[in-house]
Amino acid sequence: MRPQPPFPRSFYLLVAANFFFFASFQWTYATISNYIQEIGGDATAIGLAYGLFSLSAVASRPAVGWLLDRGGRKPVLLVGAVIFVLSPLLYIVARPLWAFQAVRFFSGLGIAAFTSAYTTLVADLAPPARLGEGIGFSGVTNNLGMLFAPALGAYVAAEKGYTLHFALASLLAALCVLILLAVVEPEQERAARPGSLSLWSVARLRVVWVAAFGSTGLAVAYGATLSFMPPFASEQGLTAAGAYFSAFALAMMIGQASAGWLSDRIGRKAVAVPGMALVIPAMVGLVLSGTNAGLLAAGAALGLSWGLARAGIDSAVVDAVPEAVRGSAISVLYTVFDFGVGIGSFGLGVAAQARGYAAAFSLAALWAAVALAGFLAWSRRGSLPGR
């Protein structure tokens, strides 16, 4: 067997920086909803907080994609990480509900900048023959922190208070910034003709819009879970809300690490479709979970679905587009995903307020089935290339 080309040093530094960025993000997973309730918010306010976060990311990703393809990846990465240093510190002083919502909108700019730049730079650094493996492996550190950050963050908030809780989230993001300073971005072809390489032109590529639509099933479910699982668990008398995210993360890492490698060998669609299908039982299982064990099983199912679907979809999109518009293509894909998360958070927040949290999760399962059906119907003509 021919030896595989190695990943460069900057690839591993980038993956390490990503760990600290997402650990900062995940630190507040199990506490944001309860914090909003503490400062006077209800279920609609919780949904709005996550919806504004997603709306900000959606609104800014087109500009992020343009900057990535014309100005480079590393500056955009640093901006996103610095925003995550500042946002938790602002949460400490943003006690009025309206001020907190404004900070949530600001924080969404950071997730848009960092995640779009991260995936694009990973694709730049990975050897072409190991692209799927590189994207899959790089996603593992998105979730490694979830094994401890939500549970530890919830403990600090409960035992030491929200000031220390948010300060530690900021510190984790600061470590990300320090590591990013050592990353060396490779020279890439830059898009020089905005008119012929517009975001709209990239979005119209069949592989991009089919992949983006298919990903909304996972996005809506994720938005609903992130927003309403902690209060749903409390309502049901369950105590494993923090551990839910740990189960989610562990299953996601297993799925993503293997799916990327596998997609290089059997094709992107072959790993993406099972992941998209798993969203449905994951959400139904959450509705039916009456025990902590059932809650953890639902979290593991959603995590595995994410690991498989994201590795297959992201790699397929990178395969299909020219290097000069790689950042724009990733931006389109993540813009649609963010929109889906916003629908799952704010849109289903209305359903949660009117009919309860179980109704929101049931609607998320229904949409996952619709998204999967559309993806299968529109991708029959080989719109997801793979090795």
Averaged pLDDT for residues 379-386: 58
Which pTM does this prediction carry? Answer: 0.77
9-184+197-378 adopts what CATH topology? Answer: Growth Hormone; Chain: A; (1.20.1250)
pLDDT at 196: 45
Question: Is 329 in contact with 208 (CB distance < 8 Å)?
Answer: yes
Which one, of 385, 134, 386, 125, lies nearest residue 257 by Cα?
Answer: 134
Averaged pLDDT for residues 147-175: 91
Distance between CA 185 and CA 7 in Å, rounded?
13
Sorting pLDDT into bands at 50, 70 and 90, what band is 189?
low
**Which span out of 16-20, 32-36, 191-195, 356-360 was modeled with the highest average pLDDT?**
16-20
pLDDT at 22: 94
Mean pLDDT score of the chain:
86
pLDDT at 354: 81
* Identity of the residue numbered 316: A
Sorting pLDDT into bands at 50, 70 and 90, what band is 3?
low
213 burial level (CB within 10 Å; 0-12, 13-18, 19+): middle
Terminal alpha carbon distance of the chain:
17
Distance between CA 226 and CA 111 in Å, rounded?
15
The string of DSSP codes covering 211-232 is HHHHHHHHHHHHHHHHHHHHHH
Tokens of 28: 């507040």
* Identity of the residue numbered 283: M
Averaged pLDDT for residues 198-223: 86
pLDDT at 103: 93
Question: Is 82 in contact with 135 (CB distance < 8 Å)?
Answer: no
Q: Where are the alpha helices (DSSP H) in the chain?
A: 9-27, 32-38, 43-71, 74-93, 97-125, 131-144, 149-160, 162-180, 199-203, 206-235, 241-266, 268-288, 292-320, 326-342, 348-355, 357-378
Residue 296 clears pLDDT 90, i.e. is over it: yes
Report pLDDT digits (tens) over 265-285.
Answer: 788 888 899 999 999 999 999
- CA 358, chain centre distance (Å): 23
Distance between CA 162 and CA 18 in Å, rounded?
24
pLDDT at 194: 43
The region of weakest confidence among 101-105, 203-207, 223-227 is 203-207
Greater confidence (191 vs 352) lies with: 352
Question: Is 19 in contact with 144 (CB distance < 8 Å)?
Answer: yes
pLDDT at 167: 95
Greater confidence (270 vs 199) lies with: 270
